[in-house]
């Protein structure tokens, strides 16, 4: 601290800045706030050749394709220590604006998706529907700014190999699938996610049944017998549950399949990095469509079901009735983060399919077209042994009692065939489902 000659106290402290004081004779200094997002806005041009630069996954920095210039991203990997935010009434009602770099909103006329794209891009393929009918919109909604992200670790080239391997798996898909054009249409996108933490204390109360063996005298049989009886007792218990980084997507299910997205979980939060606009240079990024409060409602529903499950596990027997519980939430916090996903949408026999690759771990999931003739053939194969045995058994039954065995075996095999057929059919439907 240094004193100013005119006796007004002037303080020079690193990391502090003067703020408004409500008392005239007192000066107040507070920790410097982060520079506003407008100040951080930047255009990604190569300082050597002036060409447009973009984040390069392999190089781990902003790179120029033309001259090979690369600038590492000045951001720290924070992992689990990344700040979490409370559900303050202020936070719930307010949202911060801005992305940190100048990006523009694009609206897909085909599926209605809202995209945030680097400045200068006037058209692109929509990663959700593969449509090229994309037009610039005037503005996006007010956003809470993402503070953390996990950068892409998987390159576009790697996704080609991963998806090819994935598409080649499974016998009931079209043979020509792995050779389709899917690989050429991957686009990397940062998708919005909310993560939630909470300490939940669950108190349960229920009637718990314990099996008991009872001896009784059977007067008609004139002998002592045993039978099993369930004895019901009121019991209660408390189960503490720690919820850490419960993930809820911020994308609307209208634009992205949550089912497929959940199949490429988990993400390793140890790679969580402080948000820096450099990571988004040349990549697509989607702002959240599900608000914090809506996402928390979704998360809370999943958490309370997990709490209920934990309570049931706390009960020593499987006989439970009149179960009730309360789940006290405490220390709830949230983060708004961006996670890397490669998306591809492709058409096969006039149908559109989605495929996703986890941009951090390389896990692949998605819709795969089904060669239904293979499915029907397999179902036929499952049912045929039972039918044949039945057909053999019928005439034998007419001749003598020997037919009962093949008929019985036929019925069993037919039953097994039906079960397997249903399972296969469902799996095939799931494979095509969004």
Angstrom distance (rounded) from CA 299 to CA 198: 10
**Residue 27, interface with another protein (CB under 8 A)?**
yes
**Residue 236, interface with another protein (CB under 8 A)?**
no
Contact yes or no for 198/305 (Cβ under 8 A): no
The distance of closest approach from Cβ of residue 148 to another protein in the complex, given in angstroms and rounded to an integer, is 21
**Residue 94, interface with another protein (CB under 8 A)?**
no
Stretch in the footprint of another protein (CB under 8 A) among 25-33, 337-345, 350-358, 390-398? 25-33
- For another protein, the binding residue among 216, 328, 394, 433 (CB under 8 A) is 328
- Cβ closest to another protein, residue 170 vs residue 237: 237
The distance of closest approach from Cβ of residue 16 to another protein in the complex, given in angstroms and rounded to an integer, is 7
Angstrom distance (rounded) from CA 344 to CA 126: 9
Rounded to 5°, the CA angle 265-268-273 comes to 125
> DSSP label at 434?
-
Angstrom distance (rounded) from CA 382 to CA 115: 47
Angstrom distance (rounded) from CA 136 to CA 189: 18
- For another protein, the binding residue among 6, 14, 31, 400 (CB under 8 A) is 31
Contact yes or no for 198/302 (Cβ under 8 A): no
In the Cβ-directed half-sphere of 53, how many Cα atoms lie within 13 Å? 28
Distances from the Cα of 359 to the Cαs of 28, 114, 190, 363, in angstroms? 46, 21, 9, 8
- For another protein, the binding residue among 8, 14, 39, 349 (CB under 8 A) is 8
Angstrom distance (rounded) from CA 163 to CA 357: 8
Stretch in the footprint of another protein (CB under 8 A) among 103-111, 297-305, 352-360, 376-384? 297-305
User: If DSSP states are collapsed to H, E and C, what string results for 132-146?
Assistant: CCEEECCCCCCCCCC
Provide the b/e sequence for 336-374 (b: ≥16 CB within 10 Å).
Answer: bbbbbbbbbbbebeeeebbbbbbbbbbbbbbbbbbbeeb
Contact yes or no for 342/357 (Cβ under 8 A): yes
- For another protein, the binding residue among 300, 340, 379, 389 (CB under 8 A) is 300
- Cβ closest to another protein, residue 202 vs residue 365: 202
In 119-222 the beta strands, taken as DSSP E runs, fall at: 134-136, 148-149, 187-218
**Residue 327, interface with another protein (CB under 8 A)?**
yes
- For another protein, the binding residue among 69, 312, 329, 425 (CB under 8 A) is 329
**Residue 308, interface with another protein (CB under 8 A)?**
yes
The distance of closest approach from Cβ of residue 372 to another protein in the complex, given in angstroms and rounded to an integer, is 39
- Cβ closest to another protein, residue 26 vs residue 219: 26
Stretch in the footprint of another protein (CB under 8 A) among 17-25, 59-67, 95-103, 141-149? 17-25
**Residue 220, interface with another protein (CB under 8 A)?**
no
Contact yes or no for 77/271 (Cβ under 8 A): yes
Angstrom distance (rounded) from CA 377 to CA 308: 43
The distance of closest approach from Cβ of residue 398 to another protein in the complex, given in angstroms and rounded to an integer, is 54
**Residue 312, interface with another protein (CB under 8 A)?**
no
* Among 58, 97, 113, 63, residue whose Cα is nearest residue 281: 63
Rounded to 5°, the CA angle 386-389-395 comes to 140
Angstrom distance (rounded) from CA 237 to CA 234: 11
Backbone angles phi, psi at 176, to 5 degrees: -85, 5
**Residue 332, interface with another protein (CB under 8 A)?**
yes
User: Contacts with another protein: how many residues (CB under 8 A)?
Assistant: 41
Backbone angles phi, psi at 374, to 5 degrees: -70, -40
**Residue 330, interface with another protein (CB under 8 A)?**
yes
> DSSP label at 102?
-
Distances from the Cα of 247 to the Cαs of 150, 193, 266, 306, in angstroms? 14, 7, 9, 14
Residues 111-140 that bind another protein (CB under 8 A): none
- For another protein, the binding residue among 207, 324, 426, 430 (CB under 8 A) is 324
**Residue 347, interface with another protein (CB under 8 A)?**
no
Stretch in the footprint of another protein (CB under 8 A) among 85-93, 163-171, 184-192, 356-364? 85-93
The distance of closest approach from Cβ of residue 200 to another protein in the complex, given in angstroms and rounded to an integer, is 9
Stretch in the footprint of another protein (CB under 8 A) among 5-13, 136-144, 247-255, 337-345? 5-13
- For another protein, the binding residue among 43, 49, 58, 92 (CB under 8 A) is 92
- Cβ closest to another protein, residue 248 vs residue 357: 248
- For another protein, the binding residue among 1, 81, 219, 398 (CB under 8 A) is 1
**Residue 6, interface with another protein (CB under 8 A)?**
no
- Cβ closest to another protein, residue 264 vs residue 327: 327
Is-cis flag, bond preceding 266, omega within 30? yes
Residues that bind another protein (CB under 8 A): 1, 7-11, 13, 16, 18-23, 25-31, 86-90, 92, 300-301, 304, 307-308, 323-330, 332
């Amino acid at each position: 601290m240094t004193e100013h000659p005119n006796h007004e106290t002037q303080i020079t402290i690193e990391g502090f800045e003067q703020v408004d004081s409500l008392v005239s004779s007192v000066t107040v200094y507070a920790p410097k706030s982060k520079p506003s997002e407008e100040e951080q806005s930047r255009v990604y041009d190569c300082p050597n050749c002036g060409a447009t630069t973009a984040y390069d996954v392999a190089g781990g920095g902003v790179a120029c394709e033309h001259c090979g210039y690369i600038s590492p991203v000045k951001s720290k990997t924070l992992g689990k220590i990344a700040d979490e935010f409370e559900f303050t009434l202020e936070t719930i009602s307010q949202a911060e604006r801005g992305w940190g770099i100048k990006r523009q909103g694009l609206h897909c006329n085909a599926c209605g998706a809202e995209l945030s794209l680097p400045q200068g891009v006037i058209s692109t393929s929509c990663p959700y529907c593969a449509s090229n009918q994309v037009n610039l919109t005037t503005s996006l909604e007010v956003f809470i700014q993402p503070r953390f992200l996990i950068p892409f670790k998987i390159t576009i080239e790697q996704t080609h190999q991963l998806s090819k391997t994935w598409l080649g798996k499974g016998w009931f898909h079209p043979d020509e699938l792995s050779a389709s054009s899917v690989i050429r249409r991957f686009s990397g996108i940062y998708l919005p996610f909310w993560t939630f933490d909470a300490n939940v204390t669950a108190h349960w109360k229920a009637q718990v049944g314990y099996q008991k063996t009872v001896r009784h005298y059977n007067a008609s049989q004139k002998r002592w017998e045993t039978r099993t009886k369930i004895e019901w007792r009121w019991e209660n218990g408390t189960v503490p549950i720690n919820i850490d980084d419960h993930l809820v997507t911020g994308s609307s299910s209208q634009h992205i399949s949550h089912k497929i997205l959940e199949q490429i979980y988990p993400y390793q939060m140890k790679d969580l990095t402080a948000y820096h606009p450099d990571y988004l240079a040349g990549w697509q990024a989607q702002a959240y469509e599900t608000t914090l409060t809506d996402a928390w409602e979704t998360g809370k529903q999943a958490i309370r079901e997990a709490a209920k499950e934990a309570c049931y596990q706390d009960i020593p027997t499987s006989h439970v009735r009149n179960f009730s519980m309360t789940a006290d939430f405490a220390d709830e916090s949230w983060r708004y983060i961006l996670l890397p996903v490669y998306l591809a949408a492709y058409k096969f026999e006039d149908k559109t399919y989605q495929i996703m690759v986890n941009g951090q771990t390389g896990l692949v999931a998605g819709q795969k077209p089904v060669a239904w003739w293979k499915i029907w053939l397999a179902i036929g194969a499952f049912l045929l042994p039972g039918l044949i045995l039945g057909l053999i058994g019928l005439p034998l039954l007419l001749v003598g009692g020997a037919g009962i065995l093949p008929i019985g075996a036929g019925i069993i095999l037919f039953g097994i065939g039906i079960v397997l057929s249903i399972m296969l059919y469902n799996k095939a439907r799931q494979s095509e489902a969004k």
